[in-house]
Structure 1
Amino acid sequence: MAETVLHPQRTPRRRTPSPPNPRPGGLLRGLLRTARPKQWVKNVLVVAAPAAAGRLLTAGTLTELALVFALFTACAAAVYLVNDARDAEADRAHPVKRHRPVAAGQVPVPVAYAAGGALAVLAPLLAARLTTPALALLLTAYVGMQLAYCVRLKHVLVVDLAVVTTGFLMRAAAGGLALGIPLSRWFLITTGFGALFMVSAKRYSEAVQMAGKAGVTRALLTEYTTGYLRFVWQLAAGVAVLGYCLWALEEGGPPHTGLLPWRQLSVVAFVLAVLRYAVFADRGTAGEPEEVVLGDRALALIGLVWLALYGLAVAHW
């Protein structure tokens, strides 16, 4: 009788599921989703400097600012495309990020790299041709800084906060550079520390919500303490309020010629807005800044009152 040879069962190899081929017609939609249209509202900050200088409604300004908005949006989209292409493999293992178009296979990685690279090159070139060299340099610096953030800087303590804050500050300065408007020190201080306030408040909220869940979100959050992030957003809020107050009360400012001292009165609305935003920061529910502002009626109303007071001050009514 022949001897039976038993072969040990082979354990099948685990294969990482390959992303499906992109469907016809879905590639453009995937590229658009990867460009994060919801984040484009941040680029409205390009009107900040012209509005502060009272140049928002002058002839040709809105057309120029629309171009600046489009160019900045193209640069931001380039960064998102490159970031998602670079992180595609890691995103596929994430419960939420695996639905991103690049990770899901709707947009092939080489296509995302190519589209991102094309936008990163074309936007500054168009800015140099259609606007000013200063804006072209700003956009080039923005793209370079954000790509460095994607590759390395987002893993460096404190530097990650500075880079994201600088991105907001660059948006606010872009309109002024395109129109040749001088940027005052008070504008830069208030805008910069106001941005740091919102960025660090968002990080603090993420840290609070993800406490004890290491690995679910960005790893750097585990290296920050909630106490430190609370200190940062409180410090930034204080400096932003101080800078705004010094601007509103400085003796060398434009003389009061209207019915009321609108510029000084706008301090009240600005402080109330900061205090209202701090409520969400303290609760650990301060997510994306635009969602916080638009999602809270009281904060939106305070913002409209501040905008009206500031507009009256600029118009010298």
Structure 2
Amino acid sequence: MAEPTTLTAGPGPAPAARRLSAYAHTARLARGLLRTARPRQWVKNLLVVAAPAAAGQLADRHTLLRLAVVCALFTAASAAVYLVNDARDAEADRAHPVKRLRPVAAGEVPAPLAYTTGALLAGAAVTGAALACTPMTAVLIAAYLAMQLAYCLRLKHVLVVDLAVVATGFLMRAMVGGVALDIPLSRWFLLTTAFGALFMVAAKRYSEAVQPTGRDGRTRALLTEYTAGYLRFVWQLAAGGAVLGYCLWALEGGGSATGGALLPWRQLSMAAFILGVLRYAVFADRGTAGAPEDVVLRDRPLAVIGLAWLAVYALAVTGL
């Protein structure tokens, strides 16, 4: 008589397959976190070289190394803010035709993981600044984080204050390089940077306000309280303030070449700076400056003007 056949469950997934699945899941989370940290926005952190460049102190290798460290630390701080912001705004972002594709809103990255990663990056940025730079650098980065977190929690809903906070974030980026290297910050540098930042922020808000998808207020409630005319007034006022501050810096050196310089480069740099502002204002006026990084990186005439300004400005700072 044949013995009865015993039925047993089939073998589970092979260990190699389980490991491969775990690696794939981890890779997806890592890609999602990276996208949430907004790599395309990191170009803004190059502003950390603004103050040392304005002071003509970029020739030293030690200075460049310190600036690279500061840029990395500020990138970590700004990435932390993006992670926390997206985790907090995930529900509202799901109502937006574009923002719903963000990893946290789309469910690719759990909100608790985004919060945790953001907290770790913020702590690393402040600690790294305290250890590798000056104490004031750590204080400035901590102040930036506190201000941006306050913006995420409350200030983004306060009329006018939201514009000032975002513009101040750009100003802090421009200041931190000078603070890290103990370089005195010129009043004209601060004035031009502050108004220039407000110009770009107000132009971005104006572009969002005039776009059909931006008027429902679901993802940026204050757009229903601002009028397009008011935002236009703000970016025009800020553009004028930036030009005025820059011209005052340029004219401060006198009207002719001095100190052995071949030409009055400070005064000549005004032409390129004003052209750059006017070129960017074209996109602001059309309502297509909603993504400043796209305008700066993709518009070829603006890039040429920027390179021309950079060359003349370098000659002005070095006194050649």
| Pairing 1:51–2:29 present | no
Q: Distance in 2 between matches of 1:166 and 1:262?
A: 29
Offset of 1:128 from its aligned partner?
0.5
- Aligned CA distance change for structure 1 residues 24 and 48 (closer, same or farther; 3 Å): closer
Which position in structure 2 is the counterpart of 1:209?
Answer: 211
Contact 1:23–1:106 (Cα < 8 Å) also in 2 = no
Which region of structure 1 is more displaced relative to structure 2, 250-259 or 197-206?
250-259
| Pairing 1:290–2:304 present | no
Of all paired residues, the percent bearing the same amino acid is: 73
Counterparts in 2 of 1:269-280, with a 5 A limit? 269-280=272-283
Counterparts in 2 of 1:9-48, with a 5 A limit? 23-48=25-50
Give the SS at the match of 2:105: helix
Contact 1:135–1:174 (Cα < 8 Å) also in 2 = yes
Which position in structure 2 is the counterpart of 1:123?
Answer: 125
Using the size of structure 2 for normalisation, the TM-score is 0.88
Which position in structure 1 is the counterpart of 2:177?
Answer: 175
> Of 98, 101, 104, which residue of structure 2 is paired with 1:102?
104
Q: Distance in 1 between matches of 2:97 and 2:281?
A: 30
Q: Distance in 2 between matches of 1:48 and 1:173?
A: 8
Give the SS at the match of 1:177: helix
**Number of positions where the alignment pairs a residue of Structure 1 with one of Structure 2:** 297
Give the SS at the match of 2:260: coil
Q: Deviations over 1:113-140 (max 9, x none)?
A: 1111111112111100110011100000
Offset of 1:27 from its aligned partner?
1.1
Give the SS at the match of 2:81: helix
The letter of the residue matching 2:216 is: A
State the Cα RMSD in Å: 1.9
Offset of 1:90 from its aligned partner?
2.7
> Of 301, 305, 319, which residue of structure 2 is paired with 1:302?
305
Offset of 1:92 from its aligned partner?
3.0
- Aligned CA distance change for structure 1 residues 76 and 188 (closer, same or farther; 3 Å): same
> Of 265, 282, 286, which residue of structure 2 is paired with 1:262?
265
Which position in structure 2 is the counterpart of 1:316?
Answer: 319
Q: Distance in 2 between matches of 1:136 and 1:223?
A: 36
* Structure 1 runs not aligned, ≥5 long: 1-20
The letter of the residue matching 2:102 is: R
Contact 2:209–2:223 (Cα < 8 Å) also in 1 = yes
Q: Distance in 2 between matches of 1:187 and 1:256?
A: 22
Using the size of structure 1 for normalisation, the TM-score is 0.89
The letter of the residue matching 2:58 is: L
Give the SS at the match of 1:104: coil
Which position in structure 2 is the counterpart of 1:75?
Answer: 77
Q: Distance in 2 between matches of 1:204 and 1:124?
A: 34
Offset of 1:44 from its aligned partner?
0.5
Which position in structure 2 is the counterpart of 1:9?
Answer: none
Give the SS at the match of 1:23: helix
Which position in structure 2 is the counterpart of 1:4?
Answer: none
* Structure 2 runs not aligned, ≥5 long: 1-21
The letter of the residue matching 2:314 is: G
Contact 2:33–2:109 (Cα < 8 Å) also in 1 = yes
Offset of 1:213 from its aligned partner?
3.8
Offset of 1:24 from its aligned partner?
4.0
Which region of structure 1 is more displaced relative to structure 2, 275-284 or 245-254?
245-254
Contact 1:88–1:103 (Cα < 8 Å) also in 2 = yes
Contact 1:245–1:267 (Cα < 8 Å) also in 2 = yes
Give the SS at the match of 2:104: helix
Which position in structure 1 is the counterpart of 2:190?
Answer: 188
Q: Deviations over 1:175-234 (max 9, x none)?
A: 101111000100000011011011101111111113884145411111001111111011
Offset of 1:103 from its aligned partner?
1.9
Contact 1:149–1:163 (Cα < 8 Å) also in 2 = yes
